[in-house]
Structure 1
């Protein structure tokens, strides 16, 4: 993890313009695959009696415990960076970490998972609109075409064609999660703060854990846990093993690589690559929970990947017309 922070701190030099794009895509896919693992790991815990709130709080808290020491080390004594960006770190923890998590799980308490995910994953479109309104970076036809393919692929992966009931309350919570998700990508892509990616991740996870704990204390997020064994692919394990994996892999590694990816790709492209998290989630459910994906879901995954390629090609046209400081493609 320290190497990620050190790498993000270096700019310029003899590195070619292509290198950040290649490493950025690798980091973005790593983030998506690790984030996508969370559902498959959490499902048996939920079935064993854990509440969603207790799983999320433990996941984020463990992630914070793992990342904070590395985040402090990456600072190298430059605590003025934390003081100068304290507001940004708090905003990141409240919206990008706690807000996205609490909004999503509140949404699925009132509506089906598929529609809730679809609404949350309109975040890439929100990121495009943000840069259009804030920086005058109007998306071109290629970018819009890629976004349309991603949207269609997402509908197929989530198997929404059969129709689903919507709840107004659930939709509002899902939109809250979408705002948190969009904030995650926008802040991730901003390298003007001087904060190493791992330090931003550490601060955000720490603030998010505190916020989620407070929600639990006041009763807005139910907390319940059990100590029974859980099963994955027919193998029973102690509860703490998947919980440790949730904190280390789906929180610590996922957030650090996600921030580092956005520093290299820019917020827009990183947000669309992150849609592959949905595909990864389906595949992880297949491997760990024996939930075989349908053919339509695999087709949706292909469309998402083609859409990401379209957005990547469209980025060159966008960047030719406007300057986006945080994009390093």
Structure 2
């Protein structure tokens, strides 16, 4: 009896730590947009901000890449795909969208990814999905229509909306690759190693695309305006690299190891709420009542889409193959 009590106490403590880590990850990811947008408005190209973020994070996690160097021989296609889609694609599309539409809107659109994953499972993999998951898709799409105010002919820049949708599509690639990476069971690649090499591959690709040698480096020596308050640009960059990327990914991975992926994924939905609140407080971005209601519906749809999957090994229809074994619980992104 005492042994059961001890194990239960330890399990409860691990669950509490896992929830705390998942919340920390959502908070860290949610703060990336409000730190990046002032840098973009100060004169940096969105691609240059992405390059600085990914390259800085890649240098920080370089020791992890050295430790897991065997992955280069075991899973080269996974590492390349993860770097192209989950790192370079998601970040580039999301940051480019930030230069045209509000932070909260961009992130809420990106949260269509769980719904798009269901489309991949149903149409490409030809696997059935649950009715609840289908309801989640409908809710997410309907909420998105409210967020972008389709009745007024898209109140936001259509290109910005398309870029945010591109980030959501890259998130689908992230989920699918996460699923591919776990086919080997206990021999599956370590998530920390995949993230490290994903950042390195993303940095290499973005170096060619962003051409950082053309960047206006003097912006980093000055200040950026955050809703009327000047903030040193290098402080914002440090936040993006250390907090919104490295800390966000690491805490996300550790939370998955202590919680079920479904629970951790649901907690990650708070990222959109956190980003919207931070953009309101720090950047002065306000959303209308219909947009706030639509954002809530998007989150509810994402919640249903992620939490309606049966447990691993269940014969029931799946809600999303990739989300069940998410490497870092990101919905995304960035």
TM bucket (normalised to shorter chain) is 0.7 to 0.9
For 2:285 and 2:212, locate their aligned partners in 1 and report how far apart those are by CA, in whole Å: 36
- Once the two structures are superposed, the pairs formed by residues 212-251 of structure 1 within 5 Å of their partners are 212-217=206-211, 223-225=215-217, 226=219, 227-232=221-226, 235-251=229-245
Answering whether residue 178 of structure 2 is matched by residue 180 of structure 1, we say no
5+ residue gaps in structure 2? Answer: 1-6, 327-334
Deviation digits for residues 15-74 of structure 1 (CA, Å, limit 9, x no counterpart): 99999998777655544432221221112112221111211111111111222224545x
Instruction: Tell me how far 1:156 sits from its aligned partner.
Output: 3.9
For 1:147 and 1:28, locate their aligned partners in 2 and report how far apart those are by CA, in whole Å: 24
Equivalenced residue count is 309
Worse-matched range after superposition: 308-317 or 269-278: 269-278
Relative to structure 1, the CA distance from residue 99 to residue 327 in structure 2 (aligned partners, 3 Å threshold; closer, same or farther) is: closer
- Once the two structures are superposed, the pairs formed by residues 1-329 of structure 1 within 5 Å of their partners are 29-73=23-67, 75=68, 79-105=69-95, 120-133=110-123, 137-157=127-147, 161-164=151-154, 176-189=166-179, 190-191=181-182, 192=184, 194-217=188-211, 223-225=215-217, 226=219, 227-232=221-226, 235-259=229-253, 265=260, 274-316=268-310, 319-321=314-316, 327=324
For 2:286 and 2:158, locate their aligned partners in 1 and report how far apart those are by CA, in whole Å: 31
Deviation digits for residues 254-307 of structure 1 (CA, Å, limit 9, x no counterpart): 3334455667655x8877765543332211112222334443344334334433
Worse-matched range after superposition: 128-137 or 113-122: 113-122
Worse-matched range after superposition: 137-146 or 315-324: 315-324
What TM-score comes out, normalization by structure 1 length? 0.73
For 1:230 and 1:133, locate their aligned partners in 2 and report how far apart those are by CA, in whole Å: 45
Relative to structure 1, the CA distance from residue 164 to residue 272 in structure 2 (aligned partners, 3 Å threshold; closer, same or farther) is: farther
Relative to structure 1, the CA distance from residue 297 to residue 27 in structure 2 (aligned partners, 3 Å threshold; closer, same or farther) is: farther
Instruction: Tell me how far 1:108 sits from its aligned partner.
Output: 6.9
Relative to structure 1, the CA distance from residue 168 to residue 149 in structure 2 (aligned partners, 3 Å threshold; closer, same or farther) is: closer
Deviation digits for residues 79-107 of structure 1 (CA, Å, limit 9, x no counterpart): 43332012211111112111223344556
Q: Is the 8 A contact 1:54 1:224 kept in 2?
A: no
RMSD: 4.2
